[in-house]
Amino acid sequence: MQPTLATTDFHFPGQTAVYHGKVRDVYTVGDQQLVSVATDRISAFDVILPRQIPYKGQVLNQLAAHFLTATKDIVPNWLAAVPDPNVSIGAKAQPFKIEMVVRGCLVGYSWRTYQAGSRMLCGVPLPDGLKEYNRFPEPIITPSTKADAGHDEDISAEEIINQGLATAKEWEQLSKLALQLFARGQAMALERGLILADTKYEFGTLGGQIILIDEVHTPDSSRYFYADSYEAFVSGANREEPRHLSKEFVREWLMEHDFSGQNGQTMPEITDDFVTQTSERYIELYEQLTGQKFEPVDISNLLNRIETNVTNYLEQHA
């Protein structure tokens, strides 16, 4: 198998802290700058899988930069530079401890909840009579708490305000921005023959202003379908389920092997074939979404390459 970036332990100039997330290792430089390193780790059901995916970090980082650049007219974002294919550098904001999950249709977690009989999701009522993959009359926002460790939890807008995670005015602003971003993401996806089914956004404040942080419209934060297969299915012209182009197939594979992140469950063996297939899916999504051919960079010495590129950038912009 090809080399992968499993974890990092850098010591950059001016570094004051480091946080190892599920997928990204985020280094704080001084008190105003973040260096976000996209590793090749992959997570599902809030669990990091024991194998890494070649080029996944490069795909995620470059896709996030692509969409952050394409949406900065809607809301400012944290990104300042991409000094390495696996690294983004930008402003450190004060994050809201919530994820703004926007759903355009009934799939994935929302479908599993609906199928179980619930007609309420994160305080949002769901109409009766829907089938899997049906579009909602309008996109809905189903927020979750942003957990430092373990599982994120569903939360309603009312609970967010009552718990002080955002003021009523901030919630109104966050909701408006999330829906505007989702509309932009849907339009960009449709131009490339895809349906953006759902996604999540994270926001923070910087200098009293709300900004977009983290990644946006990547396969780790979003669910895509090929438009032709989706429309054929929901219209009844084709009984074959819509073709995914997202991380959902990873979750489905794990569930087929009796794993959904619950206590007492054993992680199935992650095979070479699964790793290769997943890498190919990520590259396919990059090319489909951007219309550009994916150019894999040299991964023979990932750590040295990243350290050199980031250090050079920080020294030049000190």
Q: So where are the chain's domains?
A: 95-249
> Tokens 């992140």, residue?
261
Helical segments of the chain, H only:
56-71, 108-115, 157-162, 168-191, 227-234, 248-256, 272-290, 302-316
* pLDDT attached to residue 241: 92
Q: What are the beta bridge partners of residue 225?
A: 195, 244
CA distance linking residue 116 with residue 164, whole number of Å = 31
Question: Is the separation of the CB atoms in 85 and 62 below 8 Å?
Answer: yes
* pLDDT attached to residue 147: 66
Could you report the per-residue pLDDT of 16-59, keeping only the tens digit for each? 999 999 999 999 999 999 999 999 999 998 899 999 999 999 99
CATH architecture label of 95-249: 2-Layer Sandwich (3.30)
CA distances from residue 84 to 58, 91, 92, 93, 113 in whole angstroms, order as listed: 9, 17, 19, 22, 40
CA distance linking residue 163 with residue 193, whole number of Å = 41
- Give the three-class secondary structure for 37: strand
pLDDT range class, residue 318, cuts 50, 70, 90 = confident
Question: Is the separation of the CB atoms in 48 and 41 below 8 Å?
Answer: yes
Could you report the per-residue pLDDT of 241-277, keeping only the tens digit for each? 999 887 878 988 999 999 999 999 999 999 999 999 9
| pTM of the complete model | 0.92
